């Protein structure tokens, strides 16, 4: 959250421990991700890079005590500022009460549904980075862009390209639905209290129209591909647990098709993508996911003679020249192409 100055009070005569307070008496909780951006030049830079129009409704998430809010009000038509902490909402309302901005500011506590907005500016608690990113991308009608402050390593995962060390499932999922670019690095000393790590500001622009991909099917496929991203796809799709799950899906689909007299039984596909946001992405920023598995699996070629279904899976990889390729180097287009080839062969991931 962007916001005002804080000071450290001395311990009272009763021996109470010292704590950080906003000048108006609001205490900030590091455990809730409440780090106040104190550099006014950075506030100006964020607003300038946001490209706000005078007709824009701006959604601000984590307004804190309102320093960034004031700049957003000066640039846009209206600001809807939402907070997790009700104390901050009241503080924001008090700050702008009786000012020319009071009628153009709506302060509210963060709820399940987001309101209409043209552009989003957010300095969010880092522990909700992934869920909030996909909550925004799932929002309809689609907004123009979002300018968000993230923990630096999380931000670099968002923008990572094939072959980069930090390229991961988060990179692929986000870039399927949005164009993502890094705007600026923000050192930890620009906050009070300072967080443990540096931050980065990222621009997220939803792709229009949204890709017509079944989110559950896509997520199941990408999770498997990134079980061990630096191993070949040929190795990953020989893992026993993977083959077992895919064969179960295959048999279930075959049974459903038979019950519909050979029809695919087409139904409306649920396009909610908010489920792609995985809080585990935020809790594992210090892990090297180069060869680590996201789940316990067994390597599985112990049977000697490959089953018919196993051969069916491996043939898709071999015929399309993916057998020796690695997820860490595959582009978005290659992932989409491979998923379509599996689906055409009757192999599904959800």
CATH of the domain at 143: 3.40.50.150
Tokens coding 112? 């399940």
Predicted confidence at residue 281, as pLDDT, reads 53
Residue 36's pLDDT band, with cuts at 50, 70 and 90, is confident
Q: Which of 148, 176, 206 delimits the end of a domain?
A: 206
Place of tokens 């018919």: 308
Let me know: does 139 contact 113? Beta carbons within 8 Å.
Answer: no
**What is the CATH number for 310?**
1.10.8.480
What is the domain extent for residue 233?
Answer: 213-256+305-349
Please state whether 262 falls in left (phi above 0), alpha (psi between -120 and 50) or beta.
left
- Mean pLDDT of the residues in the chain: 82
The span from the CA of 243 to the CA of 254, in Å, is 16
Together in a domain, 243 and 153: no
User: Quick one: which H or E segment has residue 59?
Assistant: strand 57-61
Q: Is residue 290 part of a domain?
A: no
Distances in Å between the Cα of 33 and the Cα atoms of 17, 170, 290 are 20, 21, 28
Q: What is the DSSP letter of 225?
A: H
For 94-146, what is each residue's pLDDT tens digit? Answer: 889 899 898 898 876 666 688 899 999 988 878 889 999 999 999 999 999 99
Sign of CA dihedral 88, 69, 80, 198: negative
- State yes or no: 337 annotated in a binding site: no
Indicate whether this model's pTM tops 0.85.
Answer: no
Residue 269's pLDDT band, with cuts at 50, 70 and 90, is low
Together in a domain, 74 and 130: yes
In degrees and rounded to multiples of 5, residue 220 shows phi and psi of -60, -40
Q: Is residue 268 part of a domain?
A: no
Together in a domain, 73 and 115: yes
- State yes or no: 348 annotated in a binding site: no
Closest by CA to 162, choosing from 335, 342, 18, 349, is 335
- State yes or no: 217 annotated in a binding site: no
Predicted confidence at residue 26, as pLDDT, reads 54
3-state secondary structure of 40: helix
For 192-245, what is each residue's pLDDT tens digit? Answer: 778 889 999 999 999 999 998 999 999 999 999 999 999 999 999 999 999 999
Distances in Å between the Cα of 99 and the Cα atoms of 2, 3, 94, 105, 161 are 20, 18, 10, 10, 46
Q: Which of 182, 206, 230 delimits the end of a domain?
A: 206
Query: Per-residue pLDDT for 21 more than 80?
Result: no
Together in a domain, 34 and 152: yes
- State yes or no: 37 annotated in a binding site: yes
- State yes or no: 315 annotated in a binding site: no
Predicted confidence at residue 217, as pLDDT, reads 96
Q: How many domains does the chain have?
A: 2
The span from the CA of 330 to the CA of 309, in Å, is 25
Q: Is residue 269 part of a domain?
A: no
Together in a domain, 152 and 237: no
DSSP letters along 163-189, please? TSTT--HHHHHHHHHEEEEEEEEE-GG
Query: Per-residue pLDDT for 287 more than 80?
Result: no
Q: Which of 173, 190, 206 delimits the end of a domain?
A: 206
DSSP letters along 280-329, please? HHHHTTTS--SS--SS---B--TTSSPPHHHHHHHHHHHHTT-TT-BGGG
Let me know: does 59 contact 115? Beta carbons within 8 Å.
Answer: yes
Together in a domain, 134 and 229: no
119: which residues sit within 8 A by CB, 6+ positions away? 50, 51, 52, 56, 57, 58, 59, 76, 143, 144, 145, 146, 147
- State yes or no: 230 annotated in a binding site: no
Query: Per-residue pLDDT for 267 more than 60?
Result: no
């Amino acid at each position: 959250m962007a916001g005002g100055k804080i000071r450290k009070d001395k311990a009272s005569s009763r021996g109470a421990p010292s704590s950080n307070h906003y000048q108006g008496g609001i205490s900030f909780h590091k455990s809730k991700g409440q780090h106040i951006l104190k550099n006014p030049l950075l506030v100006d830079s964020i607003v300038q890079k946001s490209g706000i129009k005078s007709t824009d409704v701006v959604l601000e998430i984590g307004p804190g005590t309102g320093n960034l809010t004031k700049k957003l009000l000066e640039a846009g038509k209206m600001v809807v500022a939402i907070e997790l902490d009700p104390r901050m909402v009241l503080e924001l309302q008090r700050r702008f009460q009786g000012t020319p901005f009071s009628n153009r500011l709506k302060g509210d506590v963060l709820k399940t549904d987001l309101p209409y907005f043209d552009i989003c500016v957010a300095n969010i608690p880092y522990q909700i980075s992934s869920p909030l990113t996909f909550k925004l991308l799932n929002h309809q009608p689609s907004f123009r862009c979002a300018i968000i402050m993230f923990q630096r390593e999380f931000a670099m995962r968002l923008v990572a390209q094939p072959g980069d060390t930090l390229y991961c499932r988060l990179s692929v999922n986000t870039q399927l639905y949005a164009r993502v670019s890094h705007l600026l690095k923000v050192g930890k000393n620009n906050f009070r209290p300072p967080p443990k790590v540096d931050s980065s500001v990222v621009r997220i622009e939803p792709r229009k129209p949204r890709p017509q991909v079944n989110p559950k099917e896509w997520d199941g496929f990408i999770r498997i591909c990134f079980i061990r991203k630096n191993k070949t796809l040929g190795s990953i799709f020989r893992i026993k647990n993977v083959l077992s799950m895919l064969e179960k899906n295959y048999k279930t689909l075959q049974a459903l098709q038979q019950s519909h007299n050979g029809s695919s039984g087409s139904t409306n596909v649920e396009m909610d993508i908010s489920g792609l946001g995985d809080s585990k992405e935020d809790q594992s920023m210090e892990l090297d996911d180069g060869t680590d598995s996201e789940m316990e699996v067994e390597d599985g070629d112990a049977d000697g003679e490959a089953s018919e279904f196993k051969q069916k899976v491996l043939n898709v990889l071999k015929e399309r020249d993916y057998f020796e390729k690695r997820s860490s180097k595959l582009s978005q287009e290659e992932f989409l192409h491979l998923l379509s080839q599996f689906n055409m062969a009757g192999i599904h991931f959800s």
